[in-house]
Each structure stands twice: as C-alpha cells, then as structure tokens.
C-alpha cells in the first residue's frame, strides 16, 4: 500500500500507530507549536469511548523540523495482548478511527485553552533556551529537532491562525502512516493514503558561523561531510567512527585545554554528520585553536587505536533500544526517511578507518553567551 509502513515486532506488548504530515516551511512555526500542544492537552475526540479505554490507549503529538519544512507526528499507543477479547467494540479499529479523524476534529476551542497552552509552552521553552547545544540544533534546523519559534509571535497567535494551519495540515499531500508491533487487524485498510511519503534529502541548513545567545554554557558545533551512508550496517559503522572521533578529540584537548566537556553526535543526512562539544563559558576559543580539523578543514585525526574500545558500543546501543522503545522506533523511522537498505554485515577496521578519512569539515557554528550579558 502507498506510504504505509509496518515494523513488525511480534513479541512487543504494545501497538503504536503513527500518522505524520509534512508541512512546507512557509507555515507559521508558532501556530504549529501551539496547535501541537492543544492536540496533546485538549484534543476533541469523538470516539465512543475515551482513548484510555481503548485497550489502554495513549495519544501523543509532537512537531519537529524536517527537510526544510516541518512534520507533525501523532502517535497512538495501545496494549496488545493475545488474550484480549472484544465483542462489540474493536479497540484497535476504534483507535484507527481516532487517528484518521485527529486533525479533522482538532482541539476543544476556547480562549482559556489557548491561554493555558501558551503559558505551558513558554514555561518549558525558557529553560531549553539556556542550553547552547539546544539553541545550535535549532539554528541549524536539524531534522527531528524541536522547532525554533519567536515567543512574542507565539503570544499573538489567534484562532484564525490555527484555523489556517489546520487547513494546511488537511490539504497536505505528503505524509505517511507507520505501525510498530503486531499487525493482525489489517490496520491500513480504513486509513486514507497520502500521495507521497516524507523523505530526508538534507537534514540541516547552514547558518552564520557565530551566534550569540543568552545561554549558560558554550557549544562548538562541527558539521562534517563524508562518504554516503546507504545501508543500516554503514549507519552502525558511522556511529563507531563518531565515537572514535570523540575519543580522539578528548585526547587532544586533555593535553592542551583542561576543561570538562559534553559530547553529542548525530547523523544529519546521508552525507553529513554532527559533532557537538559543550563546555563551560570561556573555553570555546581555546578548543577551536587546538582541534586540527577546525584549523585545516580536513579531518587529520587518526582513530585506528580506538576501534577496540568503540566496537562494543554496538551492543550498548542494542541494550538502549531494548530499554527505550521510542528511541528504537525513531531510529527505524529515520532509516525509512533516509531510504537506507536494511543490511547486516561484518564491521571491519579497514572500513572504519576509510570512513573516518572521508570526513571534511563543512560548517562550524559557535553558540555563546551575549557579550553584553556576560
């Protein structure tokens, strides 16, 4: 079926049905963030029973940047048990009806709900904005990252703005449905298909090299281009290379800059990855001066000696995925969006070194506190 995907997990005790809709970048970011919160807190559900009564149903909605646009992502989680019996009401078919009509039904509209959701969004956002790495990921428009928005514009959003957004969501031809778990219900039979599915061509947008912000720490964000990642096994290999690169950076800095660092790594798209170094304020310039690929633009760090240390990380990742279903599902969805070929192959040190040698620094972003506020 078009734009329907099933990730079979026969031993999984829950059934997660996802509906995603892609929106162009010209929609109001503030309206999208507010609309998403309203669907979470005040959804207008017309089902015969409460969602929680539909086999322990739980509905969650989020939105994020994606491929020079945005995605609104709704997920319905229900308990799936082999002994579950139903006579008059199939909770899974009823759940599908909820998802089919979610955006059509929208949220419970009144001024109080609007005001409450604005307050909740602004309260959580002010804490996130103190993190330099969070701000940097916003500015890069990193796919799957929370959407950046203007607080003043958010406060000014009215019902008519949300109505326009809702029309954009309902008229979008780009979207998909994803099922994770056991499919015994012919799930997609009643769901209206989209004409095309979201696909990830470019997972970030280059920005100015330096951004000042009222943050509590500083981050150096390094975007690398590298060999194209085309399979899931090569994606695993890339994660090992990024971990090896992180260890090499730690070793270089430990001899020149005495500072505690936090690292983040991620695959941005098939040909770009991100390495983030976060430190207390005042150390970023020293770090930039020491790292060889910041000076030369080409990765000259050798990571061969770290292979035996990073290789066990593949097993650690398996444990993380076993403990965190959402992280595992998000990884599967990213593989789908990147059109990665599902493949399992032996990880070789020669491939590990070759992939590292292909790394070239493409973009550099510094997030630091505004000088006037320092």
Tell me the DSSP string of 250-298.
Answer: HHHHHHH-----EEEEEEEETTEEEEEEEESTT-HHHHHHH-HHHHHSB
Residue 372 Rama label (left phi>0; alpha psi -120 to 50; beta): alpha
Average pLDDT of the residues in 255-284: 89
The answer to whether position 122 is within a domain reads yes
Whole-number mean pLDDT of the chain?
Answer: 87
The answer to whether position 198 is within a domain reads no
pLDDT score of 374? 39
Same domain, 230 and 185: no
Structural domain total, the chain: 2
The answer to whether position 280 is within a domain reads yes
Average pLDDT of the residues in 12-27: 91
Best-predicted range by mean pLDDT (36-40, 217-221, 346-350, 361-365): 36-40
Token pair 């449905």 in the structure block, residue: 177
Average pLDDT of the residues in 346-354: 92
Same domain, 49 and 99: yes
- Reported as a single tens digit per residue, the pLDDT across 91-103 is 888 888 899 999 9
Last residue of a domain, one of 190, 222, 255: 190
pTM exceeds cut of 0.85: yes
- Reported as a single tens digit per residue, the pLDDT across 112-144 is 999 999 999 999 998 888 899 999 998 888 899
pLDDT score of 75? 95
Same domain, 184 and 215: no
């Amino acid at each position: 079926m078009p734009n329907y995907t099933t990730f079979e997990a026969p031993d999984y005790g829950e059934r997660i049905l996802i509906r995603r809709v892609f929106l162009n970048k010209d929609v109001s970011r503030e309206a999208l963030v507010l609309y998403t919160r309203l669907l979470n807190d005040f959804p207008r559900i017309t089902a015969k029973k409460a969602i929680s009564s539909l086999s322990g149903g739980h509905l969650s909605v989020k939105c994020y940047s994606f491929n020079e646009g945005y995605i609104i992502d709704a997920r319905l989680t229900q308990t799936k048990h082999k002994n579950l019996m139903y006579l008059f009401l199939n909770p899974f078919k009823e759940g599908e009806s909820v998802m089919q009509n979610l955006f059509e039904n929208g949220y419970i509209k009144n001024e109080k709900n609007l005001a409450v959701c604005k307050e909740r969004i602004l309260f959580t956002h002010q804490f996130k904005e103190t993190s330099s790495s969070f701000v940097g990921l916003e500015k890069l428009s990193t796919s799957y990252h929370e959407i950046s928005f203007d607080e003043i514009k958010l406060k000014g959003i009215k019902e008519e703005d949300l109505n326009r957004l809702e029309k954009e969501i309902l008229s979008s031809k780009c979207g998909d449905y994803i099922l994770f778990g056991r499919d015994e219900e012919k799930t997609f039979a009643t769901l209206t298909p989209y004409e095309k599915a979201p696909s990830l061509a470019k997972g970030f947008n280059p920005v100015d090299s330096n951004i000042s912000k009222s943050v509590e720490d500083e981050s150096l964000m390094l975007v690398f281009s590298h060999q194209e990642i085309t399979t899931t096994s090569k994606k695993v290999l890339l994660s090992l290379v990024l971990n090896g690169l992180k260890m090499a950076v730690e070793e270089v800095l430990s001899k020149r800059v005495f500072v505690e660092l936090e690292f983040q790594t991620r695959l941005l798209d098939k040909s770009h990855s991100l390495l983030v170094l976060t430190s207390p304020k005042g150390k970023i310039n020293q770090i930039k001066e020491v790292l060889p690929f910041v000076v030369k633009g080409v990765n000259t760090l050798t990571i061969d000696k770290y292979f035996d240390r990073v290789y066990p990380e593949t097993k650690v990742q398996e444990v993380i995925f076993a403990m965190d279903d959402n992280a595992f599902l998000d990884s599967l969805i990213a593989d789908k969006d990147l059109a990665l070929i599902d493949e399992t192959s032996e990880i070789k040190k020669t491939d590990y070194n070759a992939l590292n040698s292909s790394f070239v620094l493409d973009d550099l972003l510094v997030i630091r506190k505004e000088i006037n506020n320092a």
